[in-house]
Amino acid sequence: MELKEKLKILSDSAKYDASCSSSGSYRKNNGIGNAAPAGICHSFSSDGRCISLLKILLTNCCIFDCKYCINRKTNNIKRAIFTSEEICNLTINFYKRNYIEGLFLSSGIIKNPDYTMELLIETITLLRNKYHFSGYIHAKAIPGANNNLVKKLGLLVDRLSANIELPTEESIKLLAPNKNSNKVENIMNLIKNSKSRKFVPAGQSTQMIIGASKESDYEIISKSEYMYNKYNLKRVFYSAYISVNKDKYLPTLELPPLKRENRLYQADWLLRFYGFKTNDLLDQNNPNFNILLDPKANWALKHMEEFPKEITTCTYNDLLKIPGIGLKSAKRIITSRNKFKINFNDLKNMGIVLKRAKYFITCNGKYFIDSSLLKKQFIETNLILEDKEKINKSITQLSLFNE
């Protein structure tokens, strides 16, 4: 099979992994630059830079039969496997042409987990030692592989991830019968406990598929919180389930639940940077996010007794609880109010989204709008409308050259 054909198959098979997203561009190369080569995606390095990666599988052959996966062994699809040299050549050539800054390498399980890990290690060792590639590499560790192999791979790559895929053992048994969460968590534990600074320097991440199994948002975000706390993960990625297989255990979804995925990302952000806990946002009686409202606004509306916050005196942590105020804005408020007496205009200039924040704040004792209007129903309706407007705007703004 020609290399180009392999690249097409093995980049296409890798696109369901959410840890980086495909560029989705089909523009042809008519001169300098090419946005189209299969398998280029974007990811974020540990310092927050957006970097483009060649995102491929070593092979889409797999001995496992995860029901949601296009590469499961019972699917009749075209299979391919790269040699180590082929992956090195692609990476180096794409890098030299400036298409990519790094490699994202995952794999189906061929023969057994150890054998697959050995192939990944052989490939990345070649890339590092023979081709002297020092760029960013994110690899997938294969659950069930020997710990020594995980340790070896971890010393070669920047980021390593083991995908938990589903939030409960019950769903894993049902949809990924060859897997179990202990094997995944064993890898997470091993990465977390490594003392070497050269081992997985950009940290570890994982992925959960959203909507393939019956768990609520509460169960999903609780699992994320547990993994962040226990294994010090850098990121949990949420991947809206895309229906690629028919199976009696899978839901029939016409479209992937992208809005739900988005709400989970927003909630995840609140857990990691805004001091929220899962139980602040959801509970057993109220287990799913409001699709119409972002989780922070939803929380604020349920805790109206906490508002208004006086912007000139409240703590940094309180500022972070206000809808429309992000991390940067909160820091700017603190810096500015230490220097001068701030007013609503200053807040606008600091990038505060007053359209959202105005219902929840006072500035020097004054409300931004008539305080008699500040009833929960009124605020909720306006926040939902504002959210819709934002979505519509982002759709119409896609064209730079609208007449």
Q: What residues make contact with ligand SF4 under the rule CB under 6 A? A: 62, 64, 66, 69, 71-72, 108-109, 176
Answer yes or no: are the C-beta atoms of 84 and 123 closer than 8 Å.
yes
DSSP annotation string for 44-101? E-TTS-EEEEEEEESB---S---TT-TT-TTS-----B--HHHHHHHHHHHHHTTS-S
Nearest approach, Cβ of residue 330 and ligand SF4 (Å): 40
DSSP for residue 398? T
Q: Which is nearer to ligand SF4, 102 or 108 (CB)?
A: 108
* Nearby residues of 206 by Cβ (< 8 Å), 6 or more positions away: 161, 162, 163, 164, 184, 188, 227, 233, 235, 236, 237
Task: Check the CA dihedral 171-176-181-185 and report its sign.
Answer: negative
CB of 48 to ligand SF4, least distance (A): 29
Residue 181 CB, nearest approach to ligand SF4 (Å):
14
Taking the least distance from each CB to ligand SF4, the nearer of 64 and 115 is: 64
Q: End-to-end alpha-carbon separation of the chain, Å? A: 48
Residue matched to tokens 């500015």: 336
Neighbours of 307 (CB within 10 A): 18
Contact 172, 181 (CB under 8 A): yes
Residue with smaller CB distance to ligand SF4, 66 or 267? 66
The strands making up 136-140's β-sheet, listed across from edge to edge, are 21-22, 40-44, 50-57, 102-106, 136-140, 159-161, 204-210, 235-240
- Of 109 and 156, which CB lies nearer to ligand SF4 in the complex structure? 109
336 Cα distance to chain centroid: 33
**CB 139 → ligand SF4: shortest distance, Å?**
14
Closest separation in Å from C-beta 184 to ligand SF4: 11
Cβ-based nearer residue to ligand SF4, 64 or 228 = 64
Give 164's contacts (C-beta < 8 A, 6+ positions apart). 181, 184, 185, 206, 207, 208, 223, 227
Cβ count within 10 A of residue 44 = 13
Cβ closest to ligand SF4, residue 183 vs residue 259 = 183
Least distance from C-beta 144 to ligand SF4, angstroms? 10
Instruction: Choose between 74 and 338: whose C-beta lies nearer to ligand SF4.
Output: 74
Kindly state the smallest distance separating residue 72's Cβ from ligand SF4, in Å: 4
How far is C-alpha 191 from the chain's CA centre?
Answer: 19
Helix ranges, 113-167 (H): 113-125, 147-154
CB of 43 to ligand SF4, least distance (A): 19
CB of 147 to ligand SF4, least distance (A): 19
For ligand SF4, the closer CB: 142 or 363? 142
Peptide bond into 308 cis (omega under 30): yes
- Are the CB atoms for 67 and 175 separated by under 8 Å? yes
State in angstroms the smallest separation of the CB of 79 from ligand SF4: 11
Nearer to ligand SF4, 176 or 300 (CB): 176
Residue 11 or 278 with smaller CB distance to ligand SF4: 11
The Cα–Cα gap between 52 and 132 comes to: 19
